[in-house]
Amino acid sequence: MKLKGKVALITGSTRGIGREFAIGFAKEGADVIINGRNLEKAKAVAEEVKSIGVKSIAIGADVSLSQDVTRMVEEAIQSLGRIDLLVNNAGVNPFILEAEKIKEEGWDQVIDVNLKGVFLCCQAVGKKMIEQGGGKIINISSVVGFLGEQGFLPYSVSKAGVMMLTRVLAYEWSKYHVTVNAIAPGFIAGGMNTPILNKEILVSGLTQQVPLKRLGKPEEIVKIALFLASEDSSYINGTTIVADGGLTGYRPVGFIDLIAEMMKRG
Protein backbone atom coordinates (compact mmCIF):
# COMPACT_ATOMS: atom_id res chain seq x y z
CA MET A 1 0.00 0.00 0.00
CA LYS A 2 2.77 2.43 -0.99
CA LEU A 3 0.30 4.93 -2.45
CA LYS A 4 -2.31 4.90 0.31
CA GLY A 5 -3.84 8.36 0.75
CA LYS A 6 -2.65 9.56 -2.68
CA VAL A 7 -4.84 10.67 -5.57
CA ALA A 8 -3.75 9.70 -9.08
CA LEU A 9 -4.96 11.02 -12.44
CA ILE A 10 -4.20 8.61 -15.26
CA THR A 11 -4.96 9.82 -18.78
CA GLY A 12 -6.02 7.35 -21.44
CA SER A 13 -6.99 4.80 -18.79
CA THR A 14 -10.11 3.29 -20.33
CA ARG A 15 -8.22 0.38 -21.90
CA GLY A 16 -4.83 -1.18 -22.53
CA ILE A 17 -1.89 -0.30 -20.35
CA GLY A 18 -3.68 2.81 -19.06
CA ARG A 19 -6.29 0.58 -17.47
CA GLU A 20 -3.48 -1.56 -16.04
CA PHE A 21 -1.92 1.55 -14.50
CA ALA A 22 -5.27 2.42 -12.89
CA ILE A 23 -5.73 -1.03 -11.38
CA GLY A 24 -2.10 -1.24 -10.26
CA PHE A 25 -2.24 2.14 -8.53
CA ALA A 26 -5.53 1.25 -6.85
CA LYS A 27 -4.06 -1.99 -5.49
CA GLU A 28 -1.34 0.12 -3.88
CA GLY A 29 -4.00 2.24 -2.15
CA ALA A 30 -4.36 5.28 -4.42
CA ASP A 31 -7.69 6.85 -5.30
CA VAL A 32 -7.80 7.00 -9.10
CA ILE A 33 -9.26 9.38 -11.66
CA ILE A 34 -10.05 7.52 -14.88
CA ASN A 35 -9.84 9.52 -18.10
CA GLY A 36 -10.75 8.84 -21.69
CA ARG A 37 -12.63 10.48 -24.52
CA ASN A 38 -15.44 7.95 -24.07
CA LEU A 39 -17.10 8.69 -20.72
CA GLU A 40 -19.05 5.42 -20.56
CA LYS A 41 -15.88 3.37 -20.96
CA ALA A 42 -14.21 5.51 -18.30
CA LYS A 43 -17.10 4.87 -15.93
CA ALA A 44 -16.77 1.12 -16.46
CA VAL A 45 -13.09 1.16 -15.48
CA ALA A 46 -13.86 3.42 -12.49
CA GLU A 47 -16.28 0.78 -11.23
CA GLU A 48 -13.56 -1.84 -11.57
CA VAL A 49 -11.22 0.33 -9.55
CA LYS A 50 -13.83 0.98 -6.85
CA SER A 51 -14.23 -2.77 -6.39
CA ILE A 52 -10.61 -2.85 -5.18
CA GLY A 53 -11.62 -0.69 -2.23
CA VAL A 54 -10.54 2.82 -3.18
CA LYS A 55 -12.31 5.89 -4.53
CA SER A 56 -12.52 6.42 -8.26
CA ILE A 57 -14.23 8.86 -10.61
CA ALA A 58 -14.50 8.94 -14.40
CA ILE A 59 -13.96 12.09 -16.44
CA GLY A 60 -14.42 12.24 -20.18
CA ALA A 61 -11.91 14.59 -21.78
CA ASP A 62 -9.73 14.96 -24.87
CA VAL A 63 -6.23 15.78 -23.65
CA SER A 64 -5.40 17.62 -26.87
CA LEU A 65 -8.00 20.31 -26.03
CA SER A 66 -7.01 22.84 -23.38
CA GLN A 67 -10.59 23.47 -22.30
CA ASP A 68 -11.13 19.74 -21.73
CA VAL A 69 -7.94 19.45 -19.71
CA THR A 70 -8.81 22.45 -17.54
CA ARG A 71 -12.29 21.04 -16.88
CA MET A 72 -10.89 17.59 -16.11
CA VAL A 73 -8.46 18.91 -13.52
CA GLU A 74 -11.08 21.13 -11.88
CA GLU A 75 -13.55 18.23 -11.68
CA ALA A 76 -10.88 16.00 -10.18
CA ILE A 77 -9.96 18.54 -7.51
CA GLN A 78 -13.61 19.19 -6.66
CA SER A 79 -14.31 15.47 -6.27
CA LEU A 80 -11.16 14.19 -4.57
CA GLY A 81 -9.56 17.35 -3.19
CA ARG A 82 -6.11 17.12 -4.77
CA ILE A 83 -3.95 15.37 -7.36
CA ASP A 84 -0.72 13.86 -6.02
CA LEU A 85 0.19 11.74 -9.03
CA LEU A 86 -0.22 12.26 -12.76
CA VAL A 87 0.44 9.56 -15.34
CA ASN A 88 0.34 10.95 -18.89
CA ASN A 89 -0.52 7.75 -20.71
CA ALA A 90 -2.94 8.95 -23.42
CA GLY A 91 -1.46 8.51 -26.87
CA VAL A 92 -2.26 7.61 -30.47
CA ASN A 93 -0.47 6.07 -33.43
CA PRO A 94 -3.21 5.80 -36.06
CA PHE A 95 -1.07 5.00 -39.10
CA ILE A 96 2.21 3.56 -40.36
CA LEU A 97 3.39 5.63 -43.31
CA GLU A 98 6.58 6.75 -44.98
CA ALA A 99 7.31 10.46 -44.42
CA GLU A 100 6.39 11.56 -47.93
CA LYS A 101 2.89 10.10 -47.55
CA ILE A 102 1.96 11.71 -44.23
CA LYS A 103 -0.80 14.32 -44.46
CA GLU A 104 -0.85 17.46 -42.34
CA GLU A 105 -3.94 16.38 -40.45
CA GLY A 106 -2.31 13.04 -39.62
CA TRP A 107 0.81 14.77 -38.29
CA ASP A 108 -1.32 17.16 -36.22
CA GLN A 109 -3.40 14.36 -34.75
CA VAL A 110 -0.36 12.51 -33.38
CA ILE A 111 1.51 15.59 -32.13
CA ASP A 112 -1.62 17.13 -30.59
CA VAL A 113 -2.39 14.08 -28.45
CA ASN A 114 1.07 12.66 -27.76
CA LEU A 115 3.01 15.86 -27.14
CA LYS A 116 0.71 18.85 -26.75
CA GLY A 117 -1.66 16.76 -24.67
CA VAL A 118 1.14 15.76 -22.30
CA PHE A 119 2.18 19.41 -21.96
CA LEU A 120 -1.38 20.60 -21.31
CA CYS A 121 -1.92 17.97 -18.61
CA CYS A 122 1.47 18.63 -17.02
CA GLN A 123 0.79 22.37 -16.97
CA ALA A 124 -2.75 22.15 -15.56
CA VAL A 125 -1.92 19.53 -12.92
CA GLY A 126 1.52 21.03 -12.24
CA LYS A 127 -0.07 24.32 -11.19
CA LYS A 128 -2.17 22.44 -8.62
CA MET A 129 0.85 20.49 -7.40
CA ILE A 130 2.82 23.72 -6.96
CA GLU A 131 -0.05 25.17 -4.91
CA GLN A 132 -0.30 22.10 -2.70
CA GLY A 133 3.44 21.78 -2.15
CA GLY A 134 4.49 18.90 -4.38
CA GLY A 135 3.60 15.91 -6.50
CA LYS A 136 4.89 13.35 -8.98
CA ILE A 137 4.41 13.32 -12.74
CA ILE A 138 5.12 10.27 -14.90
CA ASN A 139 5.11 10.66 -18.68
CA ILE A 140 4.86 7.66 -20.99
CA SER A 141 7.32 7.92 -23.88
CA SER A 142 8.69 5.11 -26.08
CA VAL A 143 11.99 3.65 -27.25
CA VAL A 144 11.20 4.98 -30.73
CA GLY A 145 11.80 8.40 -29.20
CA PHE A 146 15.44 7.28 -28.93
CA LEU A 147 15.79 5.11 -32.02
CA GLY A 148 13.34 6.55 -34.50
CA GLU A 149 11.54 4.08 -36.72
CA GLN A 150 10.53 3.90 -40.35
CA GLY A 151 6.83 4.58 -40.78
CA PHE A 152 6.55 6.17 -37.34
CA LEU A 153 7.86 9.70 -37.96
CA PRO A 154 5.27 11.78 -36.04
CA TYR A 155 5.02 9.16 -33.29
CA SER A 156 8.81 9.04 -32.90
CA VAL A 157 9.06 12.83 -32.84
CA SER A 158 6.25 13.12 -30.30
CA LYS A 159 7.85 10.58 -27.96
CA ALA A 160 11.27 12.24 -28.24
CA GLY A 161 9.53 15.50 -27.37
CA VAL A 162 7.98 13.91 -24.30
CA MET A 163 11.45 13.02 -22.99
CA MET A 164 12.72 16.59 -23.44
CA LEU A 165 9.52 18.00 -21.92
CA THR A 166 10.17 15.74 -18.93
CA ARG A 167 13.73 17.02 -18.49
CA VAL A 168 12.85 20.71 -18.71
CA LEU A 169 9.85 20.45 -16.37
CA ALA A 170 11.98 18.55 -13.86
CA TYR A 171 14.50 21.41 -13.85
CA GLU A 172 11.82 24.08 -13.54
CA TRP A 173 9.59 22.43 -10.94
CA SER A 174 12.12 20.79 -8.62
CA LYS A 175 12.02 23.91 -6.41
CA TYR A 176 8.32 23.24 -5.87
CA HIS A 177 8.93 19.60 -4.85
CA VAL A 178 7.35 18.35 -8.06
CA THR A 179 9.33 15.54 -9.70
CA VAL A 180 8.89 14.67 -13.36
CA ASN A 181 10.09 11.42 -14.92
CA ALA A 182 9.28 9.30 -17.97
CA ILE A 183 9.10 5.66 -18.98
CA ALA A 184 10.12 4.51 -22.48
CA PRO A 185 8.70 1.03 -23.14
CA GLY A 186 9.83 -1.15 -26.01
CA PHE A 187 7.59 -3.75 -27.68
CA ILE A 188 4.86 -4.53 -25.12
CA ALA A 189 2.33 -7.37 -25.41
CA GLY A 190 -0.68 -5.12 -24.98
CA GLY A 191 -1.94 -1.60 -25.47
CA MET A 192 -1.35 -0.31 -29.02
CA ASN A 193 0.29 -3.62 -29.96
CA THR A 194 -2.80 -5.71 -29.18
CA PRO A 195 -3.95 -5.95 -32.85
CA ILE A 196 -0.72 -7.69 -33.89
CA LEU A 197 -0.58 -10.22 -31.04
CA ASN A 198 -2.59 -12.81 -32.99
CA LYS A 199 -0.15 -12.63 -35.92
CA GLU A 200 2.34 -15.23 -34.81
CA ILE A 201 4.85 -14.63 -37.60
CA LEU A 202 4.94 -10.90 -36.85
CA VAL A 203 5.29 -11.38 -33.10
CA SER A 204 8.08 -13.87 -33.75
CA GLY A 205 9.87 -11.35 -35.96
CA LEU A 206 9.54 -8.61 -33.36
CA THR A 207 10.85 -10.76 -30.53
CA GLN A 208 13.92 -11.63 -32.56
CA GLN A 209 14.84 -7.92 -32.45
CA VAL A 210 14.91 -7.97 -28.64
CA PRO A 211 17.93 -9.44 -26.81
CA LEU A 212 15.61 -11.02 -24.20
CA LYS A 213 13.73 -12.68 -27.10
CA ARG A 214 10.27 -11.77 -25.85
CA LEU A 215 7.83 -8.90 -25.72
CA GLY A 216 7.45 -6.95 -22.52
CA LYS A 217 4.47 -7.53 -20.24
CA PRO A 218 2.15 -4.63 -19.33
CA GLU A 219 2.61 -5.39 -15.63
CA GLU A 220 6.36 -4.83 -16.02
CA ILE A 221 5.69 -1.24 -17.09
CA VAL A 222 3.11 -0.79 -14.33
CA LYS A 223 5.72 -1.78 -11.73
CA ILE A 224 8.07 0.92 -12.99
CA ALA A 225 5.29 3.50 -12.78
CA LEU A 226 4.51 2.40 -9.22
CA PHE A 227 8.17 2.79 -8.32
CA LEU A 228 8.27 6.31 -9.76
CA ALA A 229 5.00 7.19 -8.00
CA SER A 230 6.23 6.01 -4.60
CA GLU A 231 8.74 7.47 -2.17
CA ASP A 232 11.18 4.74 -3.26
CA SER A 233 12.08 7.06 -6.18
CA SER A 234 12.47 10.22 -4.08
CA TYR A 235 15.90 11.09 -5.59
CA ILE A 236 14.99 10.32 -9.21
CA ASN A 237 14.03 13.35 -11.27
CA GLY A 238 14.17 14.36 -14.94
CA THR A 239 15.09 10.90 -16.17
CA THR A 240 13.60 8.43 -18.63
CA ILE A 241 13.61 4.78 -17.59
CA VAL A 242 13.94 2.50 -20.62
CA ALA A 243 12.16 -0.86 -20.42
CA ASP A 244 12.80 -2.60 -23.73
CA GLY A 245 14.54 -5.91 -23.05
CA GLY A 246 17.80 -4.47 -24.42
CA LEU A 247 16.38 -3.24 -27.73
CA THR A 248 18.17 0.11 -27.63
CA GLY A 249 21.51 -1.66 -27.22
CA TYR A 250 21.72 -2.01 -30.99
CA ARG A 251 19.84 -0.72 -34.04
CA PRO A 252 17.05 -3.16 -34.98
CA VAL A 253 15.65 -3.83 -38.43
CA GLY A 254 13.18 -1.12 -39.44
CA PHE A 255 9.60 -1.93 -38.47
CA ILE A 256 8.28 -1.30 -41.99
CA ASP A 257 10.90 -3.63 -43.50
CA LEU A 258 10.13 -6.24 -40.84
CA ILE A 259 6.41 -6.20 -41.59
CA ALA A 260 7.07 -6.49 -45.34
CA GLU A 261 9.46 -9.42 -44.82
CA MET A 262 7.08 -11.22 -42.47
CA MET A 263 4.19 -10.81 -44.91
CA LYS A 264 6.31 -12.24 -47.74
CA ARG A 265 6.89 -15.32 -45.64
CA GLY A 266 3.18 -15.84 -45.28
Q: What is the pLDDT of residues 79-132, one digit of tens each?
A: 999 999 999 999 999 988 999 999 999 999 999 999 999 999 999 999 999 999
Percentage of the chain lying above the pLDDT 90 cut: 80
Model pLDDT, residue 136: 98
Helical H segments across 83-230, by residue range: 104-111, 117-132, 144-147, 153-173, 200-207, 218-229
Q: pLDDT tens-digit profile of 233-258?
A: 999 999 999 999 998 876 655 666 66
Q: pLDDT tens-digit profile of 138-177?
A: 999 999 999 888 889 999 999 999 999 999 999 999 999 9
Q: In what order do the strands lie in the sheet with 135-140?
A: 56-60, 31-36, 7-10, 85-88, 135-140, 178-185, 240-243
> Is the model's pTM score more than 0.85?
yes
Distant-in-sequence, close-in-space partners of 103: CB < 8 Å, separation ≥ 6? none
Mean pLDDT of the 213-241 span: 96
Q: Which of 31, 16, 17 is nearest to 229 (CA)?
A: 31
Band (pLDDT 50/70/90 cuts) for residue 263 is: low
Is-catalytic flag, 155?
Answer: yes
Distant-in-sequence, close-in-space partners of 67: CB < 8 Å, separation ≥ 6? none
Catalytic residue of the set 155, 171, 235, 250: 155
Delineate the domains of the chain, giving CATH numbers in brackets: 7-194+215-248 (3.40.50.720)
SS3 content of the chain, % helix, strand, coil (to 5): 55, 15, 30
Question: H or E segment at 66?
Answer: helix 66-80
